[in-house]
Homo-oligomer: A and B are copies of this chain.
Amino acid sequence: MGNQFTVHYRLHCAPGEDPMQKARGIALEQTVELPADCLRPDIADTWVGQIQSLEEQAPRQWNCAIAYDSRLAGEELSQLLNTLFGNISLKSGIVVDAVDWPHSLLECFGGPRHGIEGLRQMTGVPAGKPMTCTALKPVGYSAEELAALAYAFALGGVDIIKDDHGIANQPTAPYLERLHACQQAVERANRETGGSSRYFPNVTAPHHLLKRRLDAAADAGCEGALISPWLTGLDSLRWARDHSGLAMMAHPALTGGQMGETHGLSPALLLGELFRLAGADASIYPNTGGRFGFTEDQCHAINRALREPLGGLKPSAPTPGGGMDAERAPYWIERYGPDTIILIGGSLYAQGDITAASGNLLKALGR
Contacts and interface: CB of A to CB of B under 8 A. Distances in A.
B78 A32 contact: no
Contacts of A135: 33
Contacts of A171: 71, 74
Contacts of A112: none
A256 B35 contact: no
Interface string A204-235: 11111110000000000000000010011111
A139 B32 contact: yes
A205 B138 contact: no
A76 B174 CA distance: 12
A310 interface: no
A71 B167 CA distance: 11
A238 interface: yes
Contact of A76 (B81, B92, B169, B265): B169
Interface in A171-225: 171-172, 204-210
A91 B138 contact: no
Contacts of A208: 239
Contact of A170 (B72, B141, B170, B228): B72
Contacts of A207: 207, 210, 233, 235-236, 238-239
Nearest to A85: B254
Contacts of A79: 166, 168-170, 204, 231
Contact of A258 (B75, B166, B258): B258
Interface string A20-55: 000001000111111101110011001100000000
Interface stretch (A58-66, A99-107, A300-308, A345-353): A345-353
Interface stretch (A4-12, A286-294, A332-340): A286-294
A34 to B, nearest CB: 5
A291 B46 CA distance: 23
A60 B316 CA distance: 41
Contact of A140 (B43, B77, B231, B238): B43
Interface residues of A, number: 85
A148 interface: no
Given A78-B206, A137-B32, A346-B34, A257 B260 contact: yes
A302 to B, nearest CB: 13
Contact of A228 (B72, B78, B209, B293): B78
B82 A293 contact: no
B253 A82 contact: yes
B168 A138 contact: no
B33 A137 contact: yes
A138 B31 contact: yes
Nearest to A208: B239
Contacts of A286: 90
21 contacts: A31-B138, A32-B138, A32-B139, A33-B138, A33-B345, A33-B346, A34-B349, A35-B350, A43-B138, A71-B171, A74-B171, A79-B168, A79-B169, A82-B166, A82-B168, A85-B256, A85-B257, A207-B207, A256-B263, A257-B265, A258-B258
- The 3 tightest CB contacts between A and B, nearest first, are A233-B233, A89-B256, A32-B138
